[in-house]
A and B are shown apart, each in its own frame.
Chain A
Amino acid sequence: AQSVTQPDIHITVSEGASLELRCNYSYGATPYLFWYVQSPGQGLQLLLKYFSGDTLVQGIKGFEAEFKRSQSSFNLRKPSVHWSDAAEYFCAVGAGTSGTYKYIFGTGTRLKVLA
């Protein structure tokens, strides 16, 4: 069965520090992978997605993620965190066949940024 694991429930970093949020997936075929962010009081927003090709994907707000098939991972990174990055981050995998995909989300990682 398809699944997504985000092992870190909470992460705290200082403003200006680098960030890496972990995501591991389980899926038999080539996965479609996504990162979404949910800021307080706002809906979820797509940060970036991986379908194929270059395994290093650039997203919005200075985020990037690297797909590593051998490790079944799709970790999210940012070189320098800003206070406005405090939010909850969700990794997701697209599962299914053409036209009938559904998304399986991880349980989320809540990021706290210290001034």
Chain B
Amino acid sequence: KAGVTQTPRYLIKTRGQQVTLSCSPISGHRSVSWYQQTPGQGLQFLFEYFSETQRNKGNFPGRFSGRQFSNSRSEMNVSTLELGDSALYLCASSLEYGKLFFGSGTQLSVL
């Protein structure tokens, strides 16, 4: 069974641009959540989707948005990029509560 797939693996953008990250969950997993990982800050929860509905949202500005498609694939969008958005963005899918399966992440660098 394929794991959680995130694309692209690396991204370099400049301030003010926007970016879209993609996540394909494990087959059968309907819950997809997103996290921002930065050194010293750990993982910060962005949002979680279940069956195309956002169930939960973290404390991030409105520039961060997401969506989930009917096949459970999810995308995350960040508009008007800032230098501080440079981070590893992790996607996780789950079938049961508590057991998250993480992808390898998308490393975003904002110049």
Segment among B13-21, B65-73, B78-86, B97-105 that sits at the interface with chain A:
B97-105
Inter-chain contact A90/B42, CB cutoff 8 Å:
yes
**Which chain B residue lies CB-closest to A50?**
B98
The one of A42, A44, A51, A100 that contacts B100, using a Cβ cutoff of 8 Å:
A44
- Contact residues in B for A32 (Cβ distance below 8 Å): 97-98
Does B111 sit within 8 A of A, measured CB to CB? no
Give per-residue flags for A94-115: 1 if the beta carbon is below 8 A from chain B beta carbons, else 0: 1010011111111110000000
Inter-chain contact A96/B42, CB cutoff 8 Å:
no
- Contact residues in B for A34 (Cβ distance below 8 Å): 98
- Contact residues in A for B55 (Cβ distance below 8 Å): 99-100
- Contact residues in A for B64 (Cβ distance below 8 Å): none
Does A43 sit within 8 A of B, measured CB to CB? yes
Please report which residues of chain B, range 85-111, place their CB below 8 angstroms from some CB of chain A when the two chains form the complex.
Answer: 90, 92, 97-105
The one of B41, B98, B103 that contacts A49, using a Cβ cutoff of 8 Å:
B98
Does A46 sit within 8 A of B, measured CB to CB? yes
Q: How far is the CA of A107 from the CA of B43 in the complex (A)?
A: 7
Interface size class, chain B: 20 to 34
Interface size class, chain A: 20 to 34
Q: Least Cβ distance of B111 to chain A in Å?
A: 24
Inter-chain contact B42/A107, CB cutoff 8 Å:
yes
- Contact residues in B for A46 (Cβ distance below 8 Å): 98-100
Inter-chain contact A100/B56, CB cutoff 8 Å:
yes
Inter-chain contact B45/A104, CB cutoff 8 Å:
yes
The one of A102, A106, A107 that contacts B56, using a Cβ cutoff of 8 Å:
A102
A34, A43, A102, A105 — which one has the most chain B CB atoms within 10 A of its CB?
A: A43
Please report which residues of chain A, range 44-63, place their CB below 8 angstroms from some CB of chain B when the two chains form the complex.
Answer: 44-46, 49, 51
* Interface positions of B (Cβ within 8 A of A): 3-4, 33, 35, 40-45, 48, 55-56, 58, 90, 92, 97-105
